Amino acid sequence: MYRVGIVGASGYTGAELLRLCFEHPQLELAWAMGETQAGTEVADLYPSLAAAYPRTRFEPYDATLADGLDLVFLALPHGMSQQLAPDLQRRADKVIDLSADFRLRDAALYPRWYGEEHAAPELLGTFVYGLPELFRYEVQKAEAVAVPGCYPTAAGLALAPLMVTRAIEGDEVIVDAASGVSGAGRSLAHATHFGTANEDFTAYGLLNHRHTPEIEQVLSARVLFTPHLAPMTRGILATCYAKPREASSTTQLIDALGDFYINEPFVVVSDRPPSTKATLGSNSAHLTARYDERTGWVIVLCAIDNLMKGAAGQAIQCANLMLGLDETTGLAQAAVYP
């Protein structure tokens, strides 16, 4: 068994990590820290976890509790992990950060997109970008991993195979994606109140969403990214557009995706238009592609569960690789339906 801790366990992503750790046959939860909920029983905040953690309480942050642990998950808002990571890396054997704090390789991008200088720029090069389907070998060797954002995961899985094989151009890429309200986290905000989000569909972060440089980094492309908030709890659907380097066909594109992901347990490639509900509660990504002969554009679609493949599920997938376990251990490939 591997002993793990979760910092930021009281948020939606932290709660998902708690659920996955309980179901994992090789991970033993040592503690769950949730500063804003310290002293609260996990079952009181999340009754869905009552059977798994009937008496566990969220603890206040205490770095010394990480001493000797096999792995620590950081599920904190942006800006907090970079304050804690240097100390935690010395205490725990491995660290997985689910925030954006260590995803970008260029420290100069943080003031522009996140509004402040990075507190630990010297550590950026020590964190591996945790998208296993693209960087599996690096993740396996890593002691520190930065789990990708939910939007970059969907866009990266959709377009990276065609970028790698030079099937599409990198100077005209459009990513149009929609997310459920859980992507905004547990904190109260007017935009995610039921009365605001229900029966509405709205774009946000126009031209300045923080995931833009991350998507560009993954794809090595210039990207126009527009996110949308959809009236659903979980899920992301990314519709991505690019120009092909030469005339193609729908069959060629789907075959190219299928060949690239042929041995990937969590990626489903088919001619079916993907839906968010088809991925609910699973760590799977569903993809398809089309070539539009009329306009000459390539369209690639990807659906994921933003709290699973877009966050906690992918973190567990990375943990499995880092600990030398089978990549699928403790992770569902089949979704919950209806």
d(CA 106, CA 121): 8
Return the pLDDT at 187.
83
Identify the bridge partners of residue 128 per DSSP, sorted by sequence position.
145
Say whether pLDDT at 108 is over 90. Answer: yes
Domain positions in the chain: 2-126, 150-306
pLDDT of residue 39: 97
CA–chain centroid gap for 40, Å, is: 27
CA angle 136, 142, 143 (to 5 degrees): 150
What's the pLDDT band for 189 if we cut at 50, 70, 90? confident
Tokens of 265: 């347990």
Q: Cα separation of 304 and 311, whole Å?
A: 10
Mean pLDDT of 165-181: 96
Q: Which pLDDT does position 262 carry in this prediction?
A: 98
Q: Is 21 a known active-site residue?
A: no
Given 21, 150, 240, 318, the catalytic residue? 150
Task: Kindly report the pTM of this predicted structure.
Answer: 0.97
pLDDT digits over 210-266, tens only?
Answer: 999 999 999 999 999 999 999 999 999 999 999 999 999 999 999 999 999 999 999
Q: Give the integer Cα–Cα distance in Å for 228 and 119.
A: 30
According to the model, what pLDDT value does residue 93 have? 98
pLDDT tens digits, one per residue of 24-80: 999 999 999 999 999 999 999 999 999 999 999 999 999 999 999 999 999 999 999
Q: Output the CATH code of domain 2-126.
A: 3.40.50.720
Q: Determine whether 242 is exposed, middle or buried from the number of CB atoms within 10 Å of its CB (0-12, 13-18, 19+).
A: buried
Instruction: Mean pLDDT check: name the lowest of 138-142, 186-190, 250-254.
Output: 186-190
Architecture in CATH of 150-306: 2-Layer Sandwich (3.30)
**pLDDT for the residue 272:** 97
Average pLDDT over residues 286-312: 98
Is pLDDT at 150 greater than 90 in this prediction?
yes
Can you spell out the DSSP letters for 237-270? EEEEEEEESS---HHHHHHHHHHHTTT-TTEEE-
Q: pLDDT by residue (tens digit) across 20-38? A: 999 999 999 999 999 999 9
Query: Which letter, b or e, does each residue of 75-100 get, where b requires 16 or more Cβ atoms within 10 Å of its Cβ?
Result: bbeebbbbebbeebbebbbbbbbbbb
pLDDT digits (tens, 9 = 90+) for 114-128: 999 999 999 999 999
Whether the Cβ atoms of residue 284 and residue 244 lie closer than 8 Å to each other: no
Q: How far apart are CA 325 and CA 215, in angstroms?
A: 28
Per-residue pLDDT of 84-96, as tens digits, reads 999 999 999 999 9
pLDDT at 188 > cutoff 80 = no
Mean pLDDT of the chain: 97
The pLDDT of 145-162, averaged and rounded, is 98
**∠ Cα 64 61 17 (to 5°):** 100
The model's confidence at residue 318, banded by pLDDT at 50, 70 and 90, is very high
Residue 322 in this model has a pLDDT that exceeds 80: yes
> Which pair of tokens denotes residue 304?
């994921």
Contacts of 187 (CB under 8 A, 6+ apart): none
